[in-house]
Structure 1
Amino acid sequence: MFISCIMSSATERTLRAVRNYDARLPCGQGKIFLDGPDAYVLWVKDDEKFLYRFPNEDTVAKSLNPNNIYGTSCVDTDHCYDDTSLLLPKVGDNDAGKYRCRVHYQGSSSVDYVVNLQIVEATGTPKLFDERGEQIVTPYVGPLTLGSNLSMICEVVISEPPTTVVWLRNGVTVRRIVSDKPGILRERVDIVEASRDELDAHYQCTASNADVTDAMAASVVVKMYLPPLKVEIRLNNNLNFEVGQPRVVDCVVVGCVPTPTINWYIGGTLLKASAHKELHDGNYTVSSLTFTASKRDNKKWLSCRVHNAYLPTIYEDNVTLNVGHRPTCITADIRMVGITPGEEEEISCAVKSSEPPRQFKWTFPDQRSIFTSPTLVPGLTNTYTTTLTWVPTNSDIGRLECSTENEFGEQKELCLYNLVLSGAPTAPICRQVELPPSEDIQISCEPGWDGGSPQSFHLEVRNSLGEIVHRDANTSGNFTLPTDVSTTDNLTVTTFAQNSRGKSTEQSMPLRSTATYYQNDRRTTFWEQVLILSTVTGFAVISAAAGIYTIISRRRDQRRNRLEGLFHREPDFAQERAQGSVLECHQGSCQNLILSTCANVAIPVSSYDNLN
């Protein structure tokens, strides 16, 4: 009696649920918070049947709240439900009735909420049609282009009013209508002069004639073909491309739908990129090109062209390339420079640079630095020089570095100098240049070390008496003797180098005059011919003698082989002597003769012929 008296004071409200669908009954009008571990929510039906308690064993085990303050963490009430609500799966007629939700607070009085649940038939599922009356059966509509129009109609069959039909765009209600009559309800929504905001817009039509059952819904997504909002080649404000150095260039395309085709061009020629990648991130498409510039690319346009396959226009961005190189030292070798501590010295440094260098930096062995200004060398392209003037000290002996930088970066290979104490130069290596007899004699000298100071080359021509008949000096080391000297015999040439610190040792060599050169040339030619003729004749004689000797030897060997097998009669010495013929004697038949007599017997060649 006490319980029923308290329950009778609770506020009641009537809610409807759709047959054969899940229903979720809320406890109260808003969010329920429990103020302690002993607080709880209790659901009963018709004040008799216990249905649900919160919190329960499952919720206690899952709770992470140190103060045991229970409540929903849901924000979107359309998709997330308070754990204090009551879920009725697939309701039927037996589920109709009165439901009571009692909230027992730990520090205050309990509160009751009563729900009278009614069961109704479901309204029809919404169907979507376009302005031509054709049903939209795909999950998207379009594609649309900028400025185009679109109308969509939501059709709902109402069986048990009242029924509410709502059009939502991205979750926001744009149209709402409530019908109290059964029949077919059509509700229209229009997209006028579509803008970029309509891209991927979610349109949903819902129909509901219940309070605690999810509404019937049909939805589509708007697709669009959009040109790019922006095409930009990003170089971080650095248009300088160093020759031979690869560099990554990005082309960023914003707002192009669908993903565009991106091509790179240099001076109107399509690039075959050594490395190319694309990144699609929502509304952005990035094409990265690894580009290695050459000198011929200077002042050419680098273009990024964007094409949407569904739109006719091509969009592009262009930049003008500034191609160059860092400063490079003109002299690759280490230059030896002689210095005298306490005396003023000058050293020049020259580089090739596509852009004017900023300044030159001279670094001494003790890491002391001096800066000088560059000067363009007149008549030479991209050649710059600078001069260092200073008074050296003993600490300057060693390696001196000269370097600079321009817009493309610092000089990689430094100009190097080896500072040594200055002295006299080394002797040059000189030789007489062989020329035709009709021309004057020339002497060419290859310089040695200059001693660290500018040097000059000296030439003296002396006759057989040691008298100087000609003297000359210059800085090139190349000399041409006058005609009267060139035609004189028995001359000697002496050469040496000299600088401010002294002179080198003298080198001497005999001078061949033009007349001597001509005679020697003719004599040499004649004797060469004689030598060749003699050599050929000698070889011919030797070859002929060897051939004759070989023939005779072969014939002699053949006859000896034949005589070995012949029958010989005993010679009649008396008869042979009487006839005055030469005694013929064979070694095998001279057995009865005195050995000395047989040894002196001459055997003519004709005898061998008779034997044959």
Structure 2
Amino acid sequence: KPEPTIRWWRGEKLIDSVDTRSGFVSVRSNQLVIKSLKRSDQHAVFICQASNNNFSQPVSASITLEIYFRPLIVEILSSNQPFSADRKYEIPCQTYGSRPPAKISWWMENKELKSYTFNHTQTNSADGNMSTSLLTFTPTRLDNGKALTCRATNQLVQGGVEETTIKLNVFYVPILHLTLGSNLNPDDIEEGDDVYFECKVNANPWAYKVLWKHNGQIMQPNQKKIIMSNSDLALQGISRNQAGNYSCTASNVEGDGDSNVVELKVMYKPVCRPNLKPVYGVARHENAHILCEVESYPPPDSFKWSFNNTANTVDVPQSRFQSGPHHSSSTLTYTPVTELDYGTVMCWANNLAGRQQEPCVFHILAASKPDPPFNCSILNQTSESLEVQCIEGFDGGQPQYFLLEVYDQQNGFLLGNISAKFAVFNVSGLDSGRNLKMVVYAANSKGRSESVLLEGFTLKVAEKQTVLSLGTSDQIEIAPMLGILIGIVTALLLVSVVILGVVKIRSSQGEGSHILRPGFLPVKEKVTLPLRSESEDLFEKDDKNPDVVPANKDSDYQLGSAAQTPGLNNSVISAEYEGSGQHITPLTEAYITRDRAYAPQPVSNEVTYAELSITRPNSLEPIKNGVNQYGSLQRRDEPTIYAQIDHSRRPPPAPVKTSITSPIISPVSTLFPTAKPSLYHREVVTVRTPLMGCQQESCV
């Protein structure tokens, strides 16, 4: 006593103070009702306190809430990258907010992935708020596009299920299926028909390249009568060579996928099998078994034989030949009796596609001895062995074999003989350093061929041999052929050297006969002037033999100086030039007078040659030794001077005194001009005796 008061506290907060009497005496109660619990109420502590006075310590009791929650979040922790088929992956899934921890399960297309089939494990955090499941998964191409679900379940809470789903993107190697065109009968395709194939491709991602193969070999695009695409192949006008196995191959980032193989069978008429024996040598009353083999599809069902000689053509009765076990060959037994039985035998085959167009031809000849082998050579020579190889000749219509006889070249002793089915011999057990003579020939039932002689040797010890020795034969001799070839090559080389020499001489002559421009013509030394006492010359000496005119020291063309020419009539020369205002020096008078005196009269049927001597365009230094009053010569632009020559056979005669009609200026007067140097151009014209009197020719 007194009766207590009951209150509910949450921490320091009073939340309920209303109590009621119970059915018992002196008993009171207070019931706390929380209408809506929240996640924040987890682990909340509520205290029930009772007191009846203010002096004693109140009595209390507490309760802690433990709340169950449904999962809040479920997520698959994998990137959006695609999966590759048949590879192992670990896919994690996490869930939060479940109390107690949720159970995680995996589902695909609404089917649970049991742990005994698909390995997955679950772990929980320390506080139980987070749970993680790790699925070990190996997808296949059939899983592409399927839904993978991670589901979290709390069975203690109503509606305690949360899940998330991803769509699988599985990459895989292309899967292909090849079929023949739907409207084609694979057993009824003949040469000339059109054929097409369909290649169905199943791939993720889509194939970026599709190849077609024929008998395992890649078919190249842009071939004639072949049309290719990523899903179709068309063959127009097929031939028997296009029969065989066809397939297609597709490629993507996962790799290359091959289709099934489809065999294309092309029916064609029979044709002769290659490498048949074309010639049979048979003696009279001897049986010859002639084999006729053909290639065809389908195999031939019948054969036909005929014989042809110079007289007529006869069909061979069927009783004389028989077909092979696989119906692709026929053997004729033929026995010649007379000379008319030798000729040509022909064979035809028939199948479902038709009759063979070109027959197989065999020639029946009288049997004879074989031809000798040829092109024999010695190879692989060592100190104790060597090898002989030859090309086989005609066998004479009979099976042949080959023989080799080895002799010592010094004493002629037979060292050994070898027989072989083919013309290849390996001789061993010889002594080193031996000179050998070898004989090779062929033989059959009719006899032996002519012999082929070979000379060889074995190497000495520590000696090597790499030269190939050639054999000699009675019919084919290689050494004379090599000599002829060497002679032809030598003759060609000599002719080439002669031609090059002639071209070189002509080119050297042509270089000296080039016509120079007037500005580059050399100055001719027509007068020797004693103008300088020192050793230096005023001009550089040039070639005195322009073109083909030789220099002659004894001819009148060589003019002396004025001091060396006495008795000149200077007054006459001076009178001729007084009216022109030119300055005439004694040397000029001597030059003109001498030139007039020695000017020859042109003769009929002769050609007159003219030569120009023009001043250099270069400026000269002042002249020393008392003549420097004229100063240095200045370069001036002079017009180009050309000489015109009359090429007629009979030039008109010219008088001696009028052979020089234009004013002539001395080289000295040109070098040292007077008051009017620019009015005249230096030009010296001389007349010579021609080199040839019977042929018209000119040279400038």
Shorter-normalised TM range: 0.3 to 0.5
Higher relative contact order (CA 8 A, sep 6+): 1
Please identify which structure carries the higher strand content.
Answer: 1
What is the TM-score of this pair, normalised by structure 2?
0.30
